[in-house]
């Protein structure tokens, strides 16, 4: 992040997100500015509340990572049990999305070709490409050599004819300059 406006201590949910929620929840209702500000800060407070409670539950469970289960139990103990159904729905949605993603990558593997074989094919393709590049380079080199030889011959014949007249040189110059 290039710009760091505000310290880390002022972390809140963005005001715009809250405004959007207000607009969606209470369309055509005027809400005072300081009330909106309060909502922003309520979010912060809620996050700390749930985090703290979930963390405590997590510690009791002897696990090191706060899991969805801990969060759900935290909501229950804090009196937000009515939120649990929808929170569980989100959890299910996330799980199914993750599952789909994993299936997609394994479907690719199961084209019938094991990974080692795919690797071998890839190496083959690389080798082929390298060979083609080498041939191309060689051709270019030969062409350059031929062109150089021609240029050299042209130069020697030109210098031989230089004694004949300067106008010839001018013509040659014209040819080269195109």
- Which residues would be at the binding site for other proteins (CB under 8 A)? 8-14, 17-18, 20-22, 24-26, 29-32, 34-35, 37-39, 41-52, 54-55, 64-68, 71-72, 75, 78-80, 82-83, 86-87, 90-91, 93-94, 97
Closest CA to 74 of 43, 46, 93, 94: 46
Q: What's the closest the beta carbon of residue 73 comes to other proteins, in angstroms?
A: 12
CB of 105 to other proteins, least distance (A): 15
Cβ atoms within 10 A of the Cβ of 144, count? 10
CA distance 136 to 112: 35
| Minimum gap (Å) between residue 24 Cβ and other proteins | 6
In the three-class reduction of DSSP (H, G, I as helix; E, B as strand; rest coil), residue 1 is classed as coil
Cα distance between residue 7 and residue 5, in whole Å:
7
Neighbours of 108 (CB within 10 A): 10
Residue placing its CB nearer to other proteins in the complex, 28 or 166: 28
- Name which of 62 and 175 has its Cβ closer to other proteins: 62
Closest by CA position to 53, among listed 63, 43, 65, 66: 66
Q: Which of 80/172 has CB closer to other proteins?
A: 80
Name the minimum Å distance from CB 77 to other proteins.
Answer: 11
Query: Of 26 and 118, which CB lies nearer to other proteins in the complex structure?
Result: 26
Q: Which is nearer to other proteins, 52 or 138 (CB)?
A: 52
Q: Tell the residue number behind the tokens 């139990």, with chain if given.
A: 73
């Amino acid at each position: 992040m290039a710009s760091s406006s505000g310290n880390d201590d002022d972390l809140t949910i963005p005001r715009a997100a809250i405004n959007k929620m207000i607009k969606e929840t209470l369309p055509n209702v005027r809400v005072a500015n300081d009330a909106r500000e309060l909502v922003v800060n309520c979010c912060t407070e809620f996050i700390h509340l749930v985090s703290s409670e979930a963390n405590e539950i997590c510690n009791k469970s002897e696990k090191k990572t706060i899991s969805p289960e801990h969060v759900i139990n935290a909501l229950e103990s804090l009196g937000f049990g009515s939120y649990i159904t929808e929170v569980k729905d989100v959890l299910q949605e996330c799980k199914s999305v993750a599952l789909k993603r994993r299936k997609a990558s394994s479907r690719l593997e199961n084209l019938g070709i094991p990974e080692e074989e795919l690797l071998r094919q890839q190496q083959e393709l690389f080798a082929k490409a390298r060979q083609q590049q080498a041939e191309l380079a060689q051709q270019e080199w030969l062409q350059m050599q031929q062109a150089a030889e021609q240029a050299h011959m042209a130069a020697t014949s030109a210098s031989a004819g230089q004694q004949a007249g300067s106008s010839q040189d001018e013509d040659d110059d014209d040819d080269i300059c195109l």
